[in-house]
Structure 1
């Protein structure tokens, strides 16, 4: 069950909050709004010979922006009849990720807006924190998302890995609400029938009727997945994050990075 949903905001992004609040209303979940706006260490300003009063003013502005960001979520939650807790993290950059991760640990799902390379925002720096330190599933909302949550059809990327298995388990509360669920394997090799049958049987035991589809691996896995999601008109993509080593993903891009850069529907990732 998803009963405790955390929405990470920064006052700049505009998609995570409305999507997260509406999803919480659908799930009858409590909302926790968290904003992270790290403060620049005083030493940095001192080295630049910036006046102390300007440093204080900058910190006050950051705290005010963080407070306003979470209050906007709380207001939307109240309008939806939901309770909402707020936390504004304003501390030096080395400590902000740890505090964010600690808050997310006691949550069922974290919601954050996808990074937009053309318009960077503060929360872009914290996706890795959520995935690698948060220990909870993360739902990324596309920065182009305008429609409210629609839990009608889901595609689950399945490669048999531990992250894929974890993502599948974390997504069960959402998959139970879907009219159509499809497990997808992108591969150049045949997938054993026994493997497909076990995956379908596992979901059936949770009351989820699903189909298994194999996408021929003629190109990059991430592009094949996104194309299939679009073709099927899915509302959600579920997948394990960073299936290869983190270094390999950082250097070569990898499936996770492709999805994160080009997603057009919300993506639930677990690791």
Structure 2
């Protein structure tokens, strides 16, 4: 069940909060609103020879902006008849993603707005930390999203991997509310009937009626999934977050990046 839903806001994005609040209302969940606005290190101001009082004022402005962002969500949640707790994380940029990831550990799901390369916003910097350190499913809402959660159809990307399995499990509370669920594999290899049957049976045991479809290879996986979602008229995509190179900060793989750049429906990702 989804009973504790966290919405990440920054005072700039406008899609995550309305979608998250309506989803929380559908699930009878409590809302936590958290904003993250990094503070510029004091050393940066010192090198620029900026007066100390201006440094203090800049920090105060960031905190006030963070407080205003979460209070706006709290007001909207109360108007919808929901309880809402608020938190503002103001710390140096290197620490902010880790603080946020730790905060969401005690949530059932995290809602955040998709990054828009043409109009960057503070929250754009935190998705990878949420996926790789937050240990909770992340629901990414398109920056063009205006419709409320309808959950009329969901596409679940399935390749038998651990991230795909985690995403499927994390999505069960939403899939139970979805009218039409389809598991999809993008491959030129035959998918054994036993695999299809076990996947459908697994969901049936959770009260979810589903079908299993195979999309032939040809297009890159991300493009094939997005095309299939559009063809089916689905309003939710579920997938594992794939990445590599753990020797540095987490780097999302090509399929995940394609989805995140071009998504037109909310995407639930798990790692």
Is this a same-fold pair by TM over 0.5? yes
Query: How far apart, in 2, do the equivalents of 1:29 and 1:215 lie?
Result: 36
Query: How far apart, in 2, do the equivalents of 1:251 and 1:181 lie?
Result: 29
Query: How far apart, in 1, do the equivalents of 2:161 and 2:268 lie?
Result: 16
The alignment of Structure 1 onto Structure 2 pairs a total of residues equal to 271
Closer, same or farther in 2 for the Cα pair 1:44/1:262, shift >3 Å? same
Query: How far apart, in 1, do the equivalents of 2:247 and 2:212 lie?
Result: 31
- Residue of structure 2 equivalent to 1:210: 210
- Which ranges of structure 1 fall in alignment gaps of 5 or more residues? none
Query: How far apart, in 1, do the equivalents of 2:217 and 2:51 lie?
Result: 58
- Residue of structure 2 equivalent to 1:110: 110
Aligned partner of residue 111 in structure 2, secondary structure = strand
Matched, 1:32 2:32: yes
Matches within 5 A, 1:216-227: 216-227=216-227
Query: How far apart, in 2, do the equivalents of 1:131 and 1:78 lie?
Result: 28
- Which ranges of structure 2 fall in alignment gaps of 5 or more residues? none
State TM-score, norm by structure 1: 0.97
Once the two structures are superposed, residues 115-138 of structure 1 have per-residue CA deviations (whole angstroms, 9 ceiling, x without a partner) of 000000000000011001100000
Query: How far apart, in 2, do the equivalents of 1:28 and 1:116 lie?
Result: 30
State the 1:196 CA deviation.
Answer: 0.6
State TM-score, norm by structure 2: 0.97
Once the two structures are superposed, residues 177-225 of structure 1 have per-residue CA deviations (whole angstroms, 9 ceiling, x without a partner) of 1110000000011111111111001001001000001001111000000
Closer, same or farther in 2 for the Cα pair 1:251/1:27, shift >3 Å? closer
State the 1:248 CA deviation.
Answer: 12
For the Cα contact (< 8 Å) 2:111–2:138, is it kept in 1? yes
Query: How far apart, in 2, do the equivalents of 1:250 and 1:2 lie?
Result: 27
Aligned partner of residue 214 in structure 1, secondary structure = strand
State the 1:94 CA deviation.
Answer: 2.2
State the 1:250 CA deviation.
Answer: 7.9
